[in-house]
Structure 1
Amino acid sequence: MMQYLPWLEAAGFEVTIAPFFDDGYLERLYCGRKPGFRAASYYLKRIRQLRRASPPDLIWLEKEVLPWLPAGMEQWLLPAGIPVVSDYDDAIFHRYDLHRSLVIRRVLGRKIDHVMARSALVLAGNPYLAARAVSAGTPRVEIVPTVVDISAYDAAHLHAEDGMARIGWIGTPSTWRQYMEPMMPMLSPLARESGAKLRAVGAGATLTPELEVMPWAENTESALIQGMDIGLMPLDDTPWSRGKCGYKIIQYMACGLPVVASPVGVNSDIVEDGVTGFLASTPAEWRQAIARLLRDPELRHRMGSAGRRRVEERYSLQVWGPRVADLLHSAVRP
């Protein structure tokens, strides 16, 4: 959302950012340390933000105001009469309605539906999320895909000094455990047989002879992706995964990489099978697609170039910046 700031300011908005968490929280989270009693300070900060701030003309809300608290408390805190545009790029409602605790499901199962219904506009990252907003009774829903600033991603390939091709993945420790660890019994032997390496950025995984693990940083992520030869995005076919918006795929394609992805949710819309990469469902299909790309550098180049063009045309900030600014303008009450 923050990448839209220059576009919003150019469109006449004065923007104040009010994040719920800080960088320290994320650092502890990704290092496996729990926030403990510090979590309460984030709730107090949010309450002070809403109570002390001058009423704005519009609130652009990412997902929810107060995680794990009922929608009624959020509504009480929000300034009366101010339109809210709520934004969803994950199926966050499944955190509550599919929770293992019956109490959570009963108390919070419809929380996000209430937030959506009270919003003047919902921006949904894919049709799955949009359908939930419509069923919740939102008066207006628009699909806005996840996008990248193409000026921040270079499509020039960075060749590894050892000359080995890189099968790449970028994400977080939790998504590595959920989606990539089950793939390793297939990927590790394939890398050895093909004389390739696996590159995981931000995974928090354990190093092996076939796997190099690189720390994520905003100022290096483009170069780390450019050093890959193939980008992977496996998903399981679950409600949570159907709500994902394909950010990894768009990053890979912005850097001129061919991709191999599961045909789950919006992945099937982003990837043109056989043009910008391959969609693979079974371990055999995954192995065949990756092996084919490793054998054929020209195919990798052709698919990567097609993917870059697709991002420029459909998934770039340069295309969607003005559109989002117009959508937010339309939600401001005269």
Structure 2
Amino acid sequence: MRILFLIPYPSGQAPSQRFRFEQYLDILRQKGHVYKLAPFLDDTTWRILYQPGQAVRKALGILRGFGRRLGHVLAALRYDFIFVHREAAPLGPPIFEWLLANVLRKKIIYDFDDAIWLSNTSEANKMAAGLKWHHKVESICRWAYKNSCGNEYLATYARQFNASTVVNPTTIDTVHLHNQVRDQLALGPLVIGWTGTHSTLKYLLPLVPVLAQLEAEGFEFEFRVISNQPPEFNQPLRSLRFVPWQKATEIPDLLTFHVGLMPLEDDPWAKGKCAFKALQYMALGIPALVSPVGMNTEVVQDDYNGYICRTPSEWHQRLRQLLTDSAHRQALGAAARATIEQRYSVNANTPNFLQLFS
């Protein structure tokens, strides 16, 4: 079987690619399948994409991407399956997908892990927002051989247009990557942590007063934020420490956490989130505190492997509890790790992933 992966970004860089299909590539190879990764963006454009300015270089990089993508479509004749992650091109109508499905008659596996049919404009992408053509998702779902969706909310949307839709959750490689567990009983400074990209830093804002209250009550802890950009809060926190995200230190940095946070707003976009932050924390034996939004309530079981926090007072109560009870953190962390191994690991999901290509 030959598979062409049409992907937005260079391999090994973007979390959605790394944790949705790149970690299955060795398994595909071991099964005797042949694949090729075909990114839209080159390395140079990817490095500057979310930096301010450099509009001309970004535009030229996008144009080069369209040229490469046309070559990929022409090469698709040699492949049995075309795996499209999110979209074949970031701007404009789904021309490439239409050619693949309706002219070349190729079997498209359409994979997405966000509610990408909705507009979700940030400062980084507002210039291109009008060209995103969000409503193309409906058409691609309809043309696909199968839709691969990160959770049931996304799958429910896709099934409106195509019954051949499966839930393929974002998963964690508990053997080769997230293969350590936080010792919650070890001595050292307590760390409340969060990791994510600049686009999701906004979800932390409602928790800043909660953390400030804990500081005022005399709790000694570090609030560690791992991201590609430092946070800008409207209230100072003496506990705040910003750590730039680096792939090389991703796991050691996460293992400094005692508690992991995943707050979300309850809106249609957030409902499409695949609880990725919580999955990462839990795989490392770190209890996750999450908002009751979307897949969070499926992954986190209250008072078993973490906590679901609905109000500022609940966030405050649970953080106080976990900052003072290392044995409870250890028990929650062990249950969290077991949850990931049983339901959201690469090992557990491999048969489901391979079934996409049947």
Equivalent position amino acid for 2:252 in 1: A
- Residues 256-271 of structure 1 mapped to structure 2, 5 A cutoff: 256-271=285-300
Equivalent position amino acid for 1:188 in 2: A
Task: Tell me, in whole angstroms, the C-alpha distance in 1 between the residues paired with 2:126 and 2:267.
Answer: 15
1:16 aligns with 2:16: no
Contact 1:7–1:322 (8 Å) recurs in 2: no
1:237 aligns with 2:266: yes
1:294 aligns with 2:319: no
Contact 1:120–1:139 (8 Å) recurs in 2: no
> SS state of the match for residue 137, structure 2?
helix
Contact 1:158–1:223 (8 Å) recurs in 2: no
Distance 1:241 1:300, change over 3 A: same
Task: Tell me, in whole angstroms, the C-alpha distance in 2 between the residues paired with 1:159 and 1:318.
Answer: 26
Which residues of structure 1 form unaligned runs of 5+? none
Task: Tell me, in whole angstroms, the C-alpha distance in 1 between the residues paired with 2:169 and 2:231.
Answer: 33
1:184 aligns with 2:227: no
Identify the residue that residue 159 of structure 2 maps to in structure 1. 134
Identify the residue that residue 27 of structure 2 maps to in structure 1. 7
Task: Tell me, in whole angstroms, the C-alpha distance in 1 between the residues paired with 2:168 and 2:75.
Answer: 31
Contact 2:141–2:158 (8 Å) recurs in 1: yes
Contact 1:154–1:226 (8 Å) recurs in 2: no
Contact 2:185–2:327 (8 Å) recurs in 1: no
> SS state of the match for residue 212, structure 1?
strand
Task: Tell me, in whole angstroms, the C-alpha distance in 1 between the residues paired with 2:134 and 2:62.
Answer: 22
Distance 1:96 1:166, change over 3 A: closer
Q: Deviations 1:129-188 (Å, cap 9, x if unpaired)? A: 0011011x2130111111010021133336899932000001111111x21133223223
Q: Which moved more, 1:286-295 or 1:251-260?
A: 286-295
1:40 aligns with 2:60: no
Identify the residue that residue 66 of structure 1 maps to in structure 2. 89
Distance 1:139 1:159, change over 3 A: closer
Percent of aligned positions that are identical? 31
State the shift of 1:61 in Å.
0.9
Q: 1:254 aligns with which of 283, 294, 302?
A: 283
Higher relative contact order (CA 8 A, sep 6+): 1
Q: Which moved more, 1:258-267 or 1:286-295?
A: 286-295
Identify the residue that residue 82 of structure 1 maps to in structure 2. 106
Task: Tell me, in whole angstroms, the C-alpha distance in 2 between the residues paired with 1:28 and 1:182.
Answer: 30
TM-score, normalised by the number of residues in structure 1: 0.89
- Which has a greater percent of helix? 1
> SS state of the match for residue 36, structure 2?
coil
> SS state of the match for residue 34, structure 2?
coil
Task: Tell me, in whole angstroms, the C-alpha distance in 1 between the residues paired with 2:331 and 2:94.
Answer: 49
Task: Tell me, in whole angstroms, the C-alpha distance in 2 between the residues paired with 1:23 and 1:182.
Answer: 35
State the shift of 1:249 in Å.
0.4
Contact 1:159–1:227 (8 Å) recurs in 2: no
Q: Which moved more, 1:40-49 or 1:268-277?
A: 40-49
Task: Tell me, in whole angstroms, the C-alpha distance in 2 between the residues paired with 1:324 and 1:49.
Answer: 23
Distance 1:158 1:209, change over 3 A: farther
Identify the residue that residue 113 of structure 1 maps to in structure 2. 138
State the shift of 1:22 in Å.
3.2
Identify the residue that residue 306 of structure 2 maps to in structure 1. 277
Equivalent position amino acid for 2:300 in 1: V
> SS state of the match for residue 224, structure 2?
strand
State the shift of 1:67 in Å.
1.9
> SS state of the match for residue 17, structure 1?
strand
Identify the residue that residue 307 of structure 1 maps to in structure 2. 336
TM-score, normalised by the number of residues in structure 2: 0.83
Q: Deviations 1:264-291 (Å, cap 9, x if unpaired)? A: 0000000011101110111111111111
Which residues of structure 2 form unaligned runs of 5+? 1-20
